[in-house]
Homo-oligomer: A and B are copies of this chain.
Amino acid sequence: MRSKTTSLRDVARLAGVSVPTASQALNGRARVSDETRRRVMEAARRLRYTPHAAARRLILGRSDSVAIVPGTNMTGIFSDLFYRAVLTGVGGVFEEAGYRMLITPPLRSASQLPQFVEMASAREIDGVLVAGVVDTRWVEDTIAAGTPVVLLDNHLSGRPVPAVVNDNAGGAYSATRYLAELGHTRIGFVGAAVDYPFGRETHDGYRRALAEAGLGPDPGLERLIPIDAERAREAAGVLLSLADPPTAIFAVTDLLALGVITAARERGLAIPADLSVVGMDDIDLASVTNPPLTTVRIAKEEMGRRAARMLLDLIRGTDVNPTIVVLPNELVVRGTTGGRR
């Protein structure tokens, strides 16, 4: 039982003017008399008039909304500890700019045409912000359709698609280097598959720090797994069961670090006395754990803000040359790291 909509026509009639005049009056153009504007405004208020969004879009050619797309590396945009912080930053910027965010369902298989491509060509959105891993083809399709795209926490090797990323290699480097400086010589690595940029970059950073510290890489100390605390627990279990186990482990994610700590505890190891652990991300819970987690703090909200602003610039045509912004991060030393026994 939907009540009948009140349209601009009703407002115009009540105010005793024509429809176009009412439109002008409400949109603040200068070409109507103060008296008329007053009457129209009053009528609109009385009728609780709200312009029909679809009608405006149809004629204005823009939607004032953007799509936020969760990449293939997450099950849901709500179920990811990392992206929730990133999106807080994103949300702030778009909200302030008067843009609406449409969250699409997470991308699944690479074969299925994602909703955002459709939305782009249906002119439902003015821009797309992709958080995480995405198929190159989709991005190109969308750009070809005339809709600007900004990548978040991901970047494409081929085309110069604007992107904002964390300095993953740098973060992994400083974490590993810090462990080496503490005197550790057997430093384990719990990372992600190297066929994604994140996995590759963190692995690179880890190896580089090792090399600089004069420690040769030992593939036996490296475990590449999906980003999942449980899998990290298993992986750390393997490392700690080695004949000559590591005395320190760098996990590329706080969640993974938590899994590592669990595995250590299960074996009766004290942290950091028997094992030092460093994560990366700095999730909210990192400071509440026991002991609080030493980690590489990623500027998540800033990442989101930067990406959102880039997209806004692209939509408005302010900025035209795409750039990839690499955000620095910071090692936060807390309680899970200590000198080698």
Give the CA-CA distance A79 to B1 in the complex, in Å: 36
Q: Chain copies in the assembly?
A: 2
Indicate if A244 sits at the interface (CB-CB under 8 A): no
Establish whether residues A230 and B54, one from each chain, have CB atoms under 8 Å apart when the complex forms: no
Kindly specify which of A55-63, A163-171, A201-209, A210-218 makes contact with the partner chain.
A55-63
A124 interfacial contact with B, CB 8 Å:
yes
Verify A91–B63 contact, CB threshold 8 A.
no
Are A288 and B229 in contact (CB-based, < 8 A)? yes
Within 8 A of B (CB), among A284-304: 284-285, 288-290
A105 touches B (CB below 8 Å): yes
Chain B residues with Cβ below 8 Å from A83 are 78
Contact A84 B88 (CB under 8 A): no
Residues A3 and B52 in contact in the complex (CB < 8 Å), given A76-B84, A100-B102, A229-B288: no
Assess whether A243 is interfacial by the CB under 8 Å rule: no
Segment at the interface with B among A115-123, A132-140, A154-162, A175-183: A115-123
- The 0/1 profile, CB within 8 Å of B marked 1, for residues 131-153 of chain A is 00000000000001111000000
What mask results when residues 56 to 90 of chain A are scored 1 for a CB within 8 Å of chain B, else 0? 01100001010010000001111110011101100
* Cβ-closest chain B residue relative to A62: B2
**Residue in B1, B122, B145 whose beta carbon sits within 8 Å of that of A51 in the complex:** B122
A306 at interface, CB cutoff 8 A: no
Interface size on A, residues (CB 8 A): 59
Residues of chain B with a CB closer than 8 A to A229's CB: 284-285, 288
**Are A290 and B290 closer than 8 Å at their CB atoms?**
yes
The answer to whether A54 and B124 touch across the interface, beta carbons within 8 angstroms, is: yes
Q: How far is the CB of A189 from chain B (nearest CB, A)?
A: 20
Given A68-B103, A229-B285, 17 more A-B residue pairs with CB atoms under 8 Å apart are A1-B146, A3-B145, A52-B122, A52-B123, A53-B54, A54-B55, A54-B57, A54-B124, A55-B58, A78-B83, A100-B104, A102-B102, A229-B284, A233-B288, A259-B288, A262-B289, A290-B290
What residues of chain A have their CB less than 8 Å away from a CB belonging to chain B?
1-3, 5, 48, 50-55, 57-58, 63, 65, 68, 75-80, 83-85, 87-88, 91, 95, 100-105, 115, 118-119, 121-124, 144-147, 229-230, 233, 258-259, 261-262, 265, 284-285, 288-290
